[in-house]
């Protein structure tokens, strides 16, 4: 068990046996023996390995063990095996912590993932996906307003969301399952609008799976769903009107800040809904391309998703004496002293009693 943990942490850190050995006082041969179960590391060796791997020693004794089911890597053609291993290791480690925490809080706010019952059995065109987005929002009591923190909303409804440092800029994310639970992975360093669109896109795959007519491309359908889910057609038409021949970039920047949907995605929403003619959409694309806005849009980047649910549940478990401070620190991947500072919430005045 400990050997498997060492190997998993090493892969999640993207380290070879030799590189890990160079960062510790342990030889590569010894680490290999630990990983294969041929030898057992001492407490001192475990501490050295934990420091090099960026984990707490408790990690090596965690009782939860999971496997990724049906992993799907977006834009994975050129993904090196080492990068894939690093992504997998990071995802497994994070999901394990969440599942371990949920087992301590059986009556927590996280629901079993379930789609609304009134979804259509067959989707015959991309335009029909607009109503699918509305049905999901209605079934999940989301209304039509922008969703402030998409990650927390999805996790409360049973979808595990992982932000990984291992996801590169040229990689569009990953979707998998753990014990039947859907898991979506995005880059932790991506701007928030890209994180949100990827999350909504992967939700689209879950929603549309088995419903699309054979002639509909699933990736195009999931993109359409992402736009429809993040900015419902009724709100887009309120914001833009019924017909436009041009959209001002400054106008799109304001809408991006309000909905967490990129300026270019707003242009595409206008095209999808017949607000912007295709010829004018092409002109706007050329306008953006000439200014090099297709990769980096003007203005401040949209803030990254800041999920709060996991941390909230850790402190709930601590308050209910279900875990110790040390365990809480391990779940949050923080040194104990740093966790204690976080828990004490230093301020300019004493806390109220």
CATH number at residue 43: 1.10.260.40
Give the pLDDT confidence score for residue 195 in this predicted structure: 96
Residue 141 forms part of a structural domain = no
Give tens-digit pLDDT for 71-106: 888 765 566 777 788 888 888 888 989 988 988 887
Residue 222 forms part of a structural domain = no
The domain containing residue 37 runs over which residues? 1-61
Residue 205 forms part of a structural domain = no
Residue 50 forms part of a structural domain = yes
Residue 262 forms part of a structural domain = no
pLDDT cut 70: percent of the chain above it: 97
Sequence-ordered list of residues with C-beta below 8 angstroms from that of 216, at least 6 positions apart, any chain = 123, 124, 125, 126
Residue 143 forms part of a structural domain = no
> Which tokens hold the place of 160?
């595990």
Give tens-digit pLDDT for 288-336: 999 999 999 999 999 999 888 999 999 999 999 999 999 999 899 888 9
Count of domains in the chain?
1
Residue 51 forms part of a structural domain = yes
User: What's the predicted TM-score (pTM) here?
Assistant: 0.86
Residue 55 forms part of a structural domain = yes
Per-residue pLDDT for 285 more than 90?
A: yes
């Amino acid at each position: 068990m400990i050997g498997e943990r060492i190997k998993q942490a090493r892969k999640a850190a993207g380290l070879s046996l030799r590189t890990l050995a160079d960062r510790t006082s342990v030889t590569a041969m010894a680490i290999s023996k630990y990983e294969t179960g041929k030898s057992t590391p001492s407490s001192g060796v475990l501490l050295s390995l934990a420091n090099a791997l960026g984990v707490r020693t408790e990690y090596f004794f965690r009782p939860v063990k999971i496997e990724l089911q049906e992993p799907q890597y977006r834009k994975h053609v050129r993904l090196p095996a080492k990068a894939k291993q690093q992504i997998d290791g990071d995802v497994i480690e994070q999901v394990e912590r969440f599942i371990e925490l949920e087992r301590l809080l059986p009556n927590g706010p996280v629901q079993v993932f379930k789609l609304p019952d009134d979804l259509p059995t067959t989707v015959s065109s991309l335009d029909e996906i607009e109503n699918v987005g509305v049905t999901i929002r209605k079934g999940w009591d989301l209304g039509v307003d922008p969703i402030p923190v998409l990650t927390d909303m999805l996790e409360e409804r049973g979808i595990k969301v992982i932000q990984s440092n291992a996801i590169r800029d040229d990689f569009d994310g990953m979707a998998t399952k753990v014990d039947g639970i859907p898991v979506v992975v995005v880059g932790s360093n991506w701007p928030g609008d890209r994180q949100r669109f990827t999350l909504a896109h992967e939700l689209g795959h879950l929603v549309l799976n088995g419903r699309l007519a054979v002639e509909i491309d699933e990736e195009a359908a999931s993109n359409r769903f992402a736009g429809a889910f993040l900015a419902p057609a009724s709100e887009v038409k309120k914001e833009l009107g019924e017909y436009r021949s041009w959209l001002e970039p400054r106008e799109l920047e304001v809408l991006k800040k309000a909905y967490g949907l990129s300026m270019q995605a707003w242009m595409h929403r206008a095209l999808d809904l017949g607000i912007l003619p295709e010829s004018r959409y092409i002109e706007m694309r050329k306008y953006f391309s000439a200014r090099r806005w297709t990769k980096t849009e003007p203005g401040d980047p949209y803030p990254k998703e800041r999920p709060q649910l996991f941390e909230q549940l850790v402190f709930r478990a601590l308050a209910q004496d279900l875990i110790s401070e040390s365990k809480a620190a391990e779940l949050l991947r923080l040194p104990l002293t740093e966790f204690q500072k976080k828990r004490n919430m230093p301020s300019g005045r004493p806390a109220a009693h």
